[in-house]
Amino acid sequence: MMVTLMEPEPELVMLADRIDALFLDTAGLVLTGRQVRRLLDASPASCEAALQYLLEVGHLVREEDGQYRPRFSPGPFGISTDSRRLSARQRRAPGGDGRS
């Protein structure tokens, strides 16, 4: 059986792009859904749909406390890295502070 994914509505994609840009432009940004709605002046329903879309495509992660953060954060030389994996590697490094 073949599963076909539906294309999201253009308005949803535009809002998702704005949300994505917000997180990419501000390193370390973590926001609640309500904060995203207020910053972008978006309706609750459209904002929730766009956040859900970004979760599904893997651009965002929702923390246990309900806050959203980017799955990947800019690393050295602009290379994207998974921020959780980077933190885990830093903790395992000699001295535990990421320095060798």
Per-residue confidence (pLDDT) for residue 89, from 0 to 100: 38
Question: If pLDDT is split at 50, 70 and 90, which confidence band does 30 have?
Answer: very high
Within a domain: 59 = yes
CATH of the domain at 36: 1.10.10.10
CB 58 within 8 A of CB 71: yes
CB 44 within 8 A of CB 37: yes
25 to each of 11, 20, 29, 56, 84, how far by Cα in Å?
21, 9, 9, 21, 19
CA separation for the pair 29, 70 (Å, rounded): 8
Within a domain: 97 = no
Per-residue confidence (pLDDT) for residue 83, from 0 to 100: 44
pLDDT digits (tens, 9 = 90+) for 73-98: 655 444 444 444 333 333 344 444 44
The more confidently predicted of residues 26 and 61 is 61
Within a domain: 3 = no
Per-residue confidence (pLDDT) for residue 92, from 0 to 100: 41
Within a domain: 85 = no
Total domains in the chain come to: 1
For residue 53, pLDDT beyond 80 = yes
Within a domain: 28 = yes
Question: Per the structure block, which two tokens stand in for 47?
Answer: 């904002």
Residue 14 sits in which domain range? 10-73
